[in-house]
């Protein structure tokens, strides 16, 4: 198996992009990644595109062909990858495997979602297809409701507070203020979060990630060829993926995502690192409780201490382990198919030292954590500087 490097990244603005089409977003992210990598489109051998639900959001399936066509890359193999909100992370993993295996050399891993062309209720319904239709959605469960169950149990078992959850939102909105691509560049306070409209107790509006349009791309190459294209290759040192039951009632715990724990264990082992070796991390904060659970499941603190770790400022830029320097899903936005790729873009920019005012100084190793649904799928990547 060959070592794999990321040689180029590209990202669109995230938000309610009324005047930009699905195809335009993908072309914009791809063009920026190609320019960043310093390659010609003719050098690309294959493409993997993460997308959750274009059929419901824009009534268009078979997007792998559309993307290859409008990028001028026909007849290369182009494959859509779907794993709910983990679709982008899974597309990156498939691209890594393809390069590592020697099947292809230069591969684009992209992610995209156009979510705001439908009403909020329709978008919520489309997202709910990633939950168990028979045992959860049929009886009225939504993702805010499912994560509220996790939050309540976490509060009961470990004393986690709504204030600690609110601090996740405050931090991530602050970080997003320094991200030109972020959907929300507005500071908020703990009080703002606590007084925001209730969604399903204890989840409030400002505990939730938004509905977002956006696209992201990374370009991968074999490590031995990477320096032909860039002076700052970022190595994909480890990758891990795991699954769990799709419905919460089938799990042994509501305060942990087993898929995250297992995916992280695999990625750490392949990369030859431990949680203490990681300098910064992008986690799947679809709801504020999700970030608290993630930093526990990834091994950055003991189970039940994620809220305290957040309250003590250990996850801010300059803290012990900066979390979601991009603004995370909460501040940057959450175009579900693109999120996992956008996380990789942020870590690459951080490891290159190109993150501007949100830069985490001296970062050498970063991690991305992308979750599908309420934890039925998780994918983790460990990235490190190539020098």
Distance CA 344, CA 173 (A): 19
Distance CA 226, CA 39 (A): 11
On average, the pLDDT of the chain sits at 97
Q: Looking at the structure, do residues 219 and 325 belong to the same domain, yes or no?
A: no
- CA angle 203/317/187 to nearest 5° reads 50
List CB contacts of 219: < 8 A, sequence separation 6 or more.
6, 7, 8, 9, 33, 34, 36, 37, 39, 44, 106, 107, 108, 109
List CB contacts of 22: < 8 A, sequence separation 6 or more.
54, 58, 60, 63, 66, 112, 114
Considering only CA atoms, give the Rg of the chain: 19
Distance CA 375, CA 193 (A): 24
Report the domain count for the chain.
2
> Any alpha helices (H) in the chain, and if so which ranges?
22-37, 54-57, 63-70, 87-101, 120-128, 143-158, 162-176, 190-195, 223-226, 258-271, 288-297, 306-311, 328-331, 339-352
pLDDT band at 225 (very low <50, low <70, confident <90, very high): very high
Q: Looking at the structure, do residues 105 and 132 belong to the same domain, yes or no?
A: no
Mean pLDDT value across residues 314-340: 98
- Confidence check: pLDDT of 387 > 80: no
Mean pLDDT value across residues 186-209: 98
Q: Which domain holds residue 154?
A: 128-208+237-385
Closest CA to 383 of 175, 93, 108: 93
List CB contacts of 369: < 8 A, sequence separation 6 or more.
260, 263, 264, 281, 282, 283, 284, 294, 298, 343, 378, 379, 380
pLDDT band at 386 (very low <50, low <70, confident <90, very high): confident
Q: Looking at the structure, do residues 300 and 183 belong to the same domain, yes or no?
A: yes
For this structure, is 286 an active site residue?
A: no
Q: Looking at the structure, do residues 203 and 288 belong to the same domain, yes or no?
A: yes
| Chain mean position to CA 368 | 7
Number of C-beta neighbours around residue 230 at 10 A: 20
Q: Looking at the structure, do residues 143 and 114 belong to the same domain, yes or no?
A: no
Share of the chain above pLDDT 70, in %: 100
pLDDT per residue over 350-373, tens digit each?
999 999 999 999 999 999 999 999
Burial 78-92 (b: 16+ CB within 10 A, else e): bebbbbbbbbbbbbb
- Tell me, what's the pLDDT at 324? 99
Distance CA 168, CA 310 (A): 7
Number of C-beta neighbours around residue 124 at 10 A: 14
- Tell me, what's the pLDDT at 102? 97
Q: Looking at the structure, do residues 33 and 45 belong to the same domain, yes or no?
A: yes
Q: Looking at the structure, do residues 230 and 242 belong to the same domain, yes or no?
A: no
The active-site residue out of 85, 181, 286, 301 is 85
For this structure, is 85 an active site residue?
A: yes
**What dihedral angle (degrees, nearest 10) is formed by the CA atoms of 39, 42, 43, 47?**
100
Mean pLDDT value across residues 219-224: 97
Distance CA 159, CA 65 (A): 50
Give the orientation angle of helix 288-297 with respect to helix 258-271, to 10 degrees.
50
Q: Looking at the structure, do residues 227 and 260 belong to the same domain, yes or no?
A: no
Mean pLDDT value across residues 251-278: 98
CATH number of 270's domain: 3.40.47.10
Q: Can you give 292-325 as a three-state secondary structure string?
A: HHHHHHCCCCCCCCHHHHHHCCCCCCCCCCCECC
Q: Looking at the structure, do residues 115 and 198 belong to the same domain, yes or no?
A: no
Q: Looking at the structure, do residues 220 and 247 belong to the same domain, yes or no?
A: no
Closest CA to 339 of 8, 17, 29: 29
Mean pLDDT value across residues 234-243: 98
> Which residue's structure tokens are 């082992």?
269
Mean pLDDT value across residues 276-296: 98
pLDDT per residue over 156-195, tens digit each?
999 999 999 999 999 999 999 999 999 999 999 999 999 9
Number of C-beta neighbours around residue 52 at 10 A: 31
pLDDT per residue over 91-111, tens digit each?
999 999 999 999 999 999 999
- Confidence check: pLDDT of 247 > 90: yes
Q: Looking at the structure, do residues 65 and 198 belong to the same domain, yes or no?
A: no
Helices vs. strands in the chain: H and E counts, helices first:
14, 11
Q: Looking at the structure, do residues 164 and 185 belong to the same domain, yes or no?
A: yes
Distance CA 212, CA 328 (A): 13
The active-site residue out of 154, 284, 334, 381 is 334
Dihedral-angle region of residue 186 (phi above 0 means left; psi in -120 to 50 means alpha; beta otherwise) = beta
pLDDT per residue over 19-66, tens digit each?
999 999 999 999 999 999 999 999 999 999 999 999 999 999 999 999
Structure tokens given for 287: 């709801």
pTM: 0.98
pLDDT band at 151 (very low <50, low <70, confident <90, very high): very high
């Amino acid at each position: 198996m060959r070592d794999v490097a990321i040689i180029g990244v590209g990202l669109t603005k995230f938000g309610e992009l009324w005047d930009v089409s699905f195809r335009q977003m993908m072309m914009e992210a791809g063009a920026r990644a190609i320019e960043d990598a310093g390659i010609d489109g003719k050098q690309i051998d294959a493409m993997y595109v993460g997308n959750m639900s274009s059929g419901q959001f824009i009534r268009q399936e078979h997007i792998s062909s559309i993307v290859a066509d409008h990028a001028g890359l026909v007849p290369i193999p182009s494959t859509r990858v779907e794993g709910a909100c983990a679709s982008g992370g899974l597309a990156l993993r498939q691209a890594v495997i393809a390069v590592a295996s020697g099947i292809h050399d230069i591969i684009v891993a992209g992610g995209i979602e156009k979510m705001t062309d439908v009403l909020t209720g329709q978008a919520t319904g489309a997202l709910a297809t990633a939950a168990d239709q028979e045992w959860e959605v049929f009886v009225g469960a939504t993702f805010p409701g499912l994560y509220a169950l996790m939050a309540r149990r976490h509060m009961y078992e470990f004393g986690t507070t709504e204030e600690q959850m609110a601090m996740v939102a405050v931090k991530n909105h602050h970080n997003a203020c320094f991200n030109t691509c972020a959907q929300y560049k507005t500071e908020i306070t703990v009080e703002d979060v606590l007084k925001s409209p209730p969604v399903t107790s204890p989840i409030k509006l400002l505990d939730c990630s938004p509905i977002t349009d956006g696209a992201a791309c990374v370009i991968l190459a074999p490590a031995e060829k990477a320096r032909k294209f860039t002076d700052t290759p970022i190595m994909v040192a480890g990758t891990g993926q795991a699954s769990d039951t799709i419905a919460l009632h089938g799990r042994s715990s509501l305060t942990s995502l087993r898929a995250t724990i297992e995916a992280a264990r695999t990625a750490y082992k392949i990369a030859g690192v431990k949680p203490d070796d990681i300098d910064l991390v992008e986690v799947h904060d679809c709801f504020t409780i999700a970030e608290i659970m993630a930093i526990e499941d990834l091994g950055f603190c003991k189970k039940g201490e994620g809220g305290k770790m957040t309250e003590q400022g250990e996850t801010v830029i300059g803290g012990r382990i900066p979390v979601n320097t991009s603004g995370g899903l909460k501040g940057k936005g959450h175009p579900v198919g693109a999120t996992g790729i956008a996380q990789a873009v942020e870590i690459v920019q951080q490891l290159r030292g190109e993150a501007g005012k949100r830069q985490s100084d001296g970062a050498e190793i970063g991690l991305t954590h992308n979750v599908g649904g309420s934890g039925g799928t998780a994918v983790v990547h460990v990235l490190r500087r190539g020098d």
